[in-house]
Structure 1
């Protein structure tokens, strides 16, 4: 079973329940950050969006170093 990368750096052994979508690290539920992924289908002007985004997970490092840059 995969272990949480961030827990291992802290000297703990916790099983990973998700994988960071950016870097691929295994993460436990305490270290995983859920981000909604907006999904749309169709071509403009007939684009439709799902009511809820699909969940994807990121580690703290990737969240801090990618999301802020993407929003600017």
Structure 2
């Protein structure tokens, strides 16, 4: 089973529940950040937005480095 990388740095043994889509780091529930992205299909002006956003899992380091304030 994959272990949480951040917990291993803290000398803890915690199983990962997700993988960061940017860096590939294994993450536990305490270290994962879930970003929900809106999804749409089609071209403007006749596009449709999905009712349920697409969840994406990132580590907090990647969120801090690549995401803008609008996603926090």
TM-score, length of structure 1 as denominator length: 0.88
2:43 corresponds to? 43
CA distance in 2, matches of 1:68, 1:41: 23
Residues 4-57 of structure 1, C-alpha deviations (whole Å, 9 max, x = no match): 011011111100000111111110011001100111111222111112211111
Gaps (5+ residues) in structure 2? Answer: none
1:22 corresponds to? 22
TM-score, length of structure 2 as denominator length: 0.88
How many residues in Structure 1 have an aligned counterpart in Structure 2? Answer: 71
Gaps (5+ residues) in structure 1? Answer: none
RMSD across aligned C-alpha pairs, in angstroms? 1.7
